Chains A and B, each alone.
Chain A
Amino acid sequence: MDILVGWWDDYFWGSVVVAQVFVCSLILMIIFGLIGAAAKLSDNFIAQKLANGYTIVFRGTPEILVILLLYFGSAIALTSIAQIFNPDIKFLDVPPFWAGTIAIALIVGSYATETFRGAFLGVNPGSIEAARALGMSNLQTFIYVRVPEMWRLALPAFGNHMLSLVKDTALISIIGLNETLFVAKQAIGTTGEPFIMYIVVGLIYLGFSTIITLSVMGLERFGQRHLVSSQ
C-alpha cells in the first residue's frame, strides 16, 4: 500500500468528479428520457419517428464513439462559430466534463425513453378510472395515481440506467476528464504500478455501484410497502 501514499487525495478528487458527472448526467438523462417517451407516446407522427430514431442511433453506436464525436465535433463547431467573430482564433476547447456528461446522458437517455414509455403504459387503467370516478381532477389523478405507479414500475430498469451512467463515466477519461481512471494513468506514469492503480479505480467504481444498488433496493421496498400484506 506504500505505493499509494500521495495518491489518495487525487483519487478522492477523481471520485468527486465521478459524483459530479453522475448527478449532472442523471438530471439530463431523465429529461432526455421523458422527452423521448412523451414523443413516442404522442399522436404526432414526426415526433414519434424522431424519438424512435433517437433510440436506434444510440442503441447502435458504441459509447466511446458518441463521446469522441461530441467532444471533437462540438470543439470544431464552436471554433468555426467563434472564427466568424474573431478570425484569429485557432482552436476552441470544449470542456470534457460537459461533452462527456451530455454524451452519456444522451446514450442512457435513449434507453430510458423505453423505460418511461413502458411504465406509462403499464399503469393499470382501472386505478385511473377509479380515481376519476372518485372525482379527482386530471392533475390530481396524474400526481396521486399515475406518477407513483409509474415510479414503481420504472424503478428496477431506472436503477440499471443509473449504474450505466456511473460506469460510462470512466469512458470520459479518454477525452481527458480527470476522474479516477485518468488519475490512475497519471499515477502509473510516476510509479509504474498499473495493477494496483487500476484495481483502486475498480474498487471506487464498485463502491459507487454498490451505493446505487442499495439505494434502489431501499426505494423498491419503500415503493412496494402497499403490496405487503398486513399479516
Chain B
Amino acid sequence: MTSNAVIQMKNVGKSFGTFQALKGINLEVAKGERIVVCGPSGSGKSTMIRCINRLEKHDEGKIIIDGKELTDQVDDINAVRREVGMVFQSFNLFPHMTILKNLMLAQRLVRKTSKAEARDTAMQLLERVKIPEQADKYPIQLSGGQQQRVAIARTLCMKPKIILFDEPTSALDPEMINEVLEVMTDLARYGMTMICVTHEMGFARSVADRVIFMDAGEIVEEAEPKAFFSNPKNDRTKKFLSQILSH
C-alpha cells in the first residue's frame, strides 16, 4: 500500500504453546501517524506491540520496520530496537540508577554518545517532561506520574522514529494520569509516530489518527476516532465501548 509505511505487519500470528494470541494481524502505520489500540484484557494488544520490537517473536507472517524485516539476526534486531522506543505500564525504570543515569545509560552503551552529550540530551528531555529538578534522585523517590514521564524521556533520549506505549497510564493514580497524557499529546504534536495501547478515550479522540479495536487476537475494527466512537460497526466493538464509556 503506502510506500512511506514505517511499520508493516502482514498476516502476523503468534502462539503461546497451543494458545493463539494473535491471528492474521494486518497493520500499516505511516510515518507520523498516531494509532490508539484498545480492546478487552487478554485480547492480544500487548502481544501485538511487543512483536514490533521483538520482545515477543511472531511465528507467522512478516513484520517490516522502517524497511527492515524482523528476523533472528541479532544485529538487525538491535538496529531496529534503536529506532523503536517503548513505554511500559509499570515504568520499568532502572531502580539502582539516578534519573539522570537512567537517561544516559542506553545513549552511552548503544548510541556510544559521549558522556557530556548524553548528559545534555538527558537534561533537555527532563526539561521537556518538566522534571529537571529530579535528575539526581532515585526512581523510588518519585511519584508514579513522574516515573512514567522519566520513562518517556528515557525512550526519547534514543531519538526513536517510533514509540510504542503499553497502557502507560493504567498503573497510575487518577490525579497523575493527565500529566502523562499531556507529555504524550505534546509528542504527538511534534509528529512522533506512535502506537498507543490505552483506554483513555479522551486521548484517543483528540490525538489519534486511527483507533484499532482488538478482540481474541484479531483486529476487529479500525476507523478514525470520530467514526469509531459515534458509529462502531462491529457488535463486539459496540459492547466494549458501552462498557468502557458507561463508568
| Complex contact flag A–B (Cβ < 8 Å) | no
Listed in ascending order, the chain A residues whose CB lies under 8 Å from chain B are: none
Listed in ascending order, the chain B residues whose CB lies under 8 Å from chain A are: none
